[in-house]
Structure 1
Amino acid sequence: MIAWLMFIALGVIWGSSFLLIKIGVRELDALSLVAARLGIAAVGFVILFVLNRTQLPRDRRTLLTILVVGVLNTALPFVLITWGEQYIDSGLASVLNATTPLFSLVIAHLALHDDKITTGKLLGLVTGFFGVVVLATRSLGSGGGESQNAFLGELAVLLAAFCYGLSAVLIRRYVRNTEPMMVAGGTLIVGGVLMSLLVLFTVHPLPDVSKLSSDVLWGVLILGVLNTFIAYLMYFRLLKQWGASRATMVTYLTPPIGIFLGIVVGSEAFDPRLILGAGLIVGGVALANLSRINQGMTRLIQRQR
């Protein structure tokens, strides 16, 4: 029961991230917002590692992979999503981000010898692609500079999803035997340090915290503490209890929650194409991972008997 509550809570938390980002970019540039978010989460993991006396990995390959994944799985996609949400709705961003597993399938097919694209996976990829096309018609159909910015925003979020997919394959190939919490914490710390340095050297003048509204301040704090640090702790606890095949099903919760919060809380416009595109993308991901879903649900039912 606790695991199910944690699963639902995680879907709500990650689904709300896109609305919180939308609130943050009202007054902060993308780099500063991401640096604050990652910096807060990084401090949390540093404290956690010190208290638990966590042993850091010593082999160069693991350290290098954590460094690369810190860029590809945190810093870069966070910046791309945050920048993109300056021009697109948070609900749309949450849907486009859900294409991550589809990118993972293609990259894994090219990079791993034991994870090739099957007929079912290909059907899922095609379905998801049509979902992206449906969403793209929202920005391409109207024309004008605003439409062009929206299209670039969509591309930025899709590129972020590609980064997440590439990171998943890198983690599986190079650090699959490393403690997952170390990988998560290490990559967030790397991302936090890199983004903090980037802001210090490129953003002038630095944001004046005293001039930020309470909505933005609370949004940044929640993004860093709850949606990043605590959410990662919850996710890896769920991984230990359920395993990867079931825990990763939280992916299916984030788009509907992101759309709902964007419309109800963020006053974003309702567009039937958003619902259709979301259905095609989530359906495509489900088709591509149908065997894993069946295995995960079977094990869950057997465990509860």
Structure 2
Amino acid sequence: MVWGASFLFIEKALTFLTPVGVTFFRCFFGAATLWILVLLKRFKPTFNLKLLAHLWIVGLLLNVIPGVLFAFAQERVSSILAGIMNALTPIMSVLMILLVFKSEKLSANRILGIVLGFIGVLIILIVGESIGSFSWSAFFALFIAVLCYGIAFPYMTKFVIPHKVPTEILATFQVSLSTLTLLPFAIYHGVDSYSPSLAAGASILALGILGSGFAYHWNFRIATLVGPSISSTVTYITPVVAVVLGLLLLGEPLTWNEPVGGLILLIGSALAQGRFKLVKE
């Protein structure tokens, strides 16, 4: 639910911040929230440089790169489309697990799910371009962003979770390192207007506190308990929430290819992750 609402918050925040600014302040308020949680629970962080390096990489893959790219894309396409494309994350995660990390086996159902997922993307892309509702630069930005997500989940499980550090600490340092990484870029060009509306100001606060604070703590918690394939399934509900909020609160248009392509994409994601089987193995 929180990440589904993030696309609405990004849309509002872009009225006074640049894509880099949106991502920086999102991480800043998220890090502040996580540090409060850590202090309230009286954790005593103990880290080595190797783990910090892994957390910095996770931050690049989950916060910095996709954060800027999603905001960049939403300057060109609707929050609805951005939310639907986010549903490609589970397929990207499965692809990385199978091809790069090789921690799970390939199967006929997974291949079929991956193919279905990309068919869904093609329906969104080709039909969208034909009716003039698509931007190629936005598409490539969204694709690279979800690819980063797909790499991040198995990477986190392989290199971060085994350290058995409390999830609150992991999330706090991940988002804090992302904030520091973005700081020089945000100073250079992070703000477009210094007179934000109340809604825009509230949106960036909500985006940071909920979307990069509590949500990343929950994300680490889920990845620790059930692994990368399941943890990436949060993206199943994300496009549904993004579509509903985009329609009701932003009045964005919805063309037929977006829900149709999105539904095929979700079915493909579920199939690739083994939620059900179409082929007997």
**Aligned-partner Cα distance in 2 for 1:171–1:154:** 26
**Aligned-partner Cα distance in 2 for 1:238–1:168:** 11
> Per-residue CA shift, 1:61-112, capped at 9, x if unaligned?
2121011111121111101101110001101101111111111122222222
Matched residue, 1:272: 256
Consecutive unaligned residues of structure 1, counting only runs of 5 or more, are 1-11, 295-305
User: Displacement, 1:15?
Assistant: 0.9
**Aligned-partner Cα distance in 1 for 2:113–2:14:** 33
Query: 170, 176, 182: which one pairs with 2:155?
Result: 170
User: Displacement, 1:57?
Assistant: 4.3
RMSD: 2.4
**Aligned-partner Cα distance in 2 for 1:29–1:286:** 34
The equivalences for 1:105-254 within 5 A come to: 105-142=94-131, 147=134, 150-178=135-163, 179=165, 180-200=167-187, 202-203=188-189, 206-209=191-194, 211-235=195-219, 243-244=226-227, 248-254=232-238
TM-score norm. by structure 1 comes to: 0.82
CA gap of 1:129–1:41, structure 2 versus 1, over 3 A, is same
Matched residue, 2:16: 27
Equivalenced residues, count:
274
> Per-residue CA shift, 1:145-194, capped at 9, x if unaligned?
x85xx221121111110011111121122112133333222211111121
Secondary structure of the equivalent of 2:84?
A: helix
**Aligned-partner Cα distance in 1 for 2:118–2:39:** 44
The equivalences for 1:82-101 within 5 A come to: 82-101=71-90
% identical aligned pairs: 25
Query: 27, 43, 53: which one pairs with 1:54?
Result: 43
Secondary structure of the equivalent of 2:161?
A: coil
> Per-residue CA shift, 1:173-218, capped at 9, x if unaligned?
2112133333222211111121123211x218x5553x11112111
Matched residue, 1:300: none
CA gap of 1:64–1:57, structure 2 versus 1, over 3 A, is farther
Matched residue, 1:298: none
CA gap of 1:159–1:70, structure 2 versus 1, over 3 A, is same
Do structure 1's residue 39 and structure 2's residue 23 form an aligned pair?
A: no
Could you list the structure 1 runs, at least 4 aligned residues long, displaced by more than 6 angstroms after superposition: none
User: Displacement, 1:134?
Assistant: 0.6
CA gap of 1:133–1:246, structure 2 versus 1, over 3 A, is closer
- What amino acid is the match of 1:84? A
- What amino acid is the match of 2:113? G
> Per-residue CA shift, 1:207-238, capped at 9, x if unaligned?
553x1111211111111112221233445566
**Aligned-partner Cα distance in 2 for 1:57–1:122:** 42
TM-score norm. by structure 2 comes to: 0.88
User: Displacement, 1:252?
Assistant: 1.3
CA gap of 1:217–1:193, structure 2 versus 1, over 3 A, is same
